[in-house]
Amino acid sequence: MKKIIESSKKVWIKTFGCQMNYHDTERILSNLSELNYELSKNIEEADLILFNTCAIRDLANSKFYSSLGEVKVLKKRENKSVIVGVGGCVAQIEGNDLIKKYKHLDFAFGTDQIDNINKMVERVQNGDSKFIYDSYDPSQDYSIETKIINKSPQAFVNIIKGCNNFCTYCIVPFSRGREKSRRSSEILSDIKNLIATGVQEVTLLGQNVNAFGKENNERFSDLLLAVNDLIGLKRLRYTTSHPYFISDDLIKAHSTCDKLSDHLHLPVQSGSDSVLKRMGRRYTSSHYLEILEKIREANPRIVITSDIIVGFPNETENEFLETISLLEKARFDSIYSYKFSPRPGTVAEKIVDELLMSEKSKRLQTVQQIQEKIQVEIRSSFVGSKATLLVEGAGRMRGVKKWKGRSSCNRLIHFVPPSENDDFLGKWVDVEVLSATPFSCQGSLIGLTC
């Protein structure tokens, strides 16, 4: 029998956390492809195991630690030569401890070290291990060309990294460093190159995306206008924005940029002014609601989503009810809601919290129930309307093949193709919305978008 020579190596990677981390994972894989590593879905056959970690809440942390424990068993019993590395926000914050504590861990790397991944892997291949790359160089310009591993009509593009806000509960400024923006000219040529490879929808990314450009005297709204003008681009999104940095010129861009999606994710966190103050958010609930009013005036189709934290230390019943009242006034299309999780090194971690965990859980449940009711109401008015989707993939639901794509307002809609063999991947289609619940939207295909 002819011997098959395997030239490529396998990497298995587990990603936790936000869009930024998933985008970083794509960059890690793209870098590693230069060393001939290809992605494997099977951890047992991996030559390299990586974790891209998230530290935002205790739950994300614990999930990572339990996966790391499983790898210890694997490395010991089955595949002694496998290389194990940890990157991302946990590695940035506690990489040294990780390296010391976990014998099966070869290296750790911080959030600003992704482009050095190949050097690290080669060091381990050459017999070195137990090292960490976690430095930041704040004097360096933020210049980074987007790397894509799989051809796709959608792309994420980093425009700003880090965060200067230091909300009192949040670990991100510690794990991602200070804000640093790319230059508009570089971003524009990056997106033009992406368009040349077939990209049609771009999401501009940042922890605090609308603080973009301050150090270079550039405005986020001007960047949106310039990206909107790029020939070949069909849809533009951005995430995540902070209410404090929503300016009038940005609101105006939502009426002038025809490619800008009908969606804004604008985390409010709480409806109580006293809690917002303790969180260090720098806006009041009425200011937040004013922003929504103005943005809905600029684009009446716009759909708003948000994040809520319940049970911030010593949140009173009244303060909690103010959040409920804000939910009813803001009428979000969906929310991510969380119980406050104390994070090491943050201001809020040090507050002596009298509020019981059982009460926090009850409040979270209440928020979710009220939001679900609002969502049912909002989404029922979506039924019967026409939506344009960029098709992302297919699957089977109770044996029936369905394609799915996101509308401009970021709702995921499924539709049945005329024939099982049709290929809609990456195509733009129009659908009529048949049903829309908080959990799923179904449409019927009208045809390809003209």
Report the residue number, 19 or 193, with the smaller CB distance to ligand SAH.
Answer: 19
Crossing angle of helices 220-228/248-256, nearest 10°?
10
Instruction: Tell the burial category of 127 from Cβ atoms under 10 Å away from its Cβ (0-12, 13-18, 19+).
Output: exposed
In DSSP notation, 129-153 reads -SEEE----TTS--------SS--S
Strand ranges (E), 220-302: 235-239, 263-265
Residues 208, 221, 261, 337: which binds ligand SF4 (CB under 6 A)? 208
At position 203, the amino acid (one-letter code) is T
Q: Which two tokens stand for residue 135?
A: 């430095």
**Other beta carbons within 10 Å of 347:** 15
Shortest CB 153 distance to ligand F3S, Å: 25
Q: Choose the contact partner of 89 out of ligand SF4, ligand SAH, ligand F3S, none; CB within 5 to 8 A by kind.
A: ligand F3S
Instruction: Look at the block and give the residue holding tokens 């960059």.
Output: 27
Q: Do 259 and 266 touch, CB atoms closer than 8 A?
A: no
Q: Is 429 in the site for ligand SF4 (CB under 6 A)?
A: no
CA distances from 115 to 87, 273, 335 (A): 12, 42, 34
Report the residue number, 95 or 206, with the smaller CB distance to ligand SF4.
Answer: 206
Residues binding ligand F3S: what is the number (CB under 6 A)? 13
Q: Choose the contact partner of 166 out of ligand SF4, ligand SAH, ligand F3S, none; CB within 5 to 8 A by kind.
A: ligand SF4
Q: Choose the contact partner of 54 out of ligand SF4, ligand F3S, ligand SAH, none; CB within 5 to 8 A by kind.
A: ligand F3S
Residues 57, 176, 219, 360: which binds ligand SAH (CB under 6 A)? 57
Gap between the Cα atoms of 264 and 245, Å rounded = 13
Residues 49, 56, 251, 433: which binds ligand F3S (CB under 6 A)? 56
Of residues 118, 157, 152, 120, the one with CA closest to residue 35: 118
Q: For the chain, what is the radius of gyration of the CA atoms?
A: 23
Residues 207, 261, 371, 408: which binds ligand SAH (CB under 6 A)? 207
Q: Choose the contact partner of 21 out of ligand SF4, ligand F3S, ligand SAH, none; CB within 5 to 8 A by kind.
A: ligand F3S
Binding segment for ligand SF4 (CB under 6 A), chosen from 13-21, 34-42, 169-177, 252-260, is 169-177
Helices (H) and strands (E) in the chain, counts: 12, 19
Q: Choose the contact partner of 341 out of ligand SAH, ligand SF4, ligand F3S, none; CB within 5 to 8 A by kind.
A: ligand SAH
Q: Do 263 and 241 touch, CB atoms closer than 8 A?
A: no
Shortest CB 162 distance to ligand F3S, Å: 9
Residues 167, 209, 390, 429: which binds ligand SF4 (CB under 6 A)? 167
Report the residue number, 233 or 335, with the smaller CB distance to ligand F3S.
Answer: 335
Report the residue number, 31 or 341, with the smaller CB distance to ligand SAH.
Answer: 341
How distant is the alpha carbon of residue 398 from its chain centre?
Answer: 30
Report the residue number, 205 or 302, with the smaller CB distance to ligand SAH.
Answer: 205
Report the residue number, 18 or 266, with the smaller CB distance to ligand F3S.
Answer: 18
Gap between the Cα atoms of 115 and 407, Å rounded = 34
Residues 40, 52, 221, 269: which binds ligand SAH (CB under 6 A)? 269
Instruction: Look at the block and give the residue holding tokens 């998230």.
Output: 54
At position 130, the amino acid (one-letter code) is K
Question: Strand 428-436 vs strand 131-133: parallel, antiparallel, or unpaired?
Answer: unpaired
Q: Is 443 in the site for ligand SF4 (CB under 6 A)?
A: no
Shortest CB 27 distance to ligand SF4, Å: 20
Residue 139 CB partners (closer than 8 Å, separation 6+): none
Report the residue number, 210 or 299, with the smaller CB distance to ligand SF4.
Answer: 210
Positions in the binding site for ligand SAH (CB under 6 A): 56-57, 169-170, 172, 207-208, 240, 242, 267, 269, 307, 309, 338, 340-341, 343
Positions in the binding site for ligand F3S (CB under 6 A): 17-18, 20-21, 54-56, 88-89, 171-172, 175-176
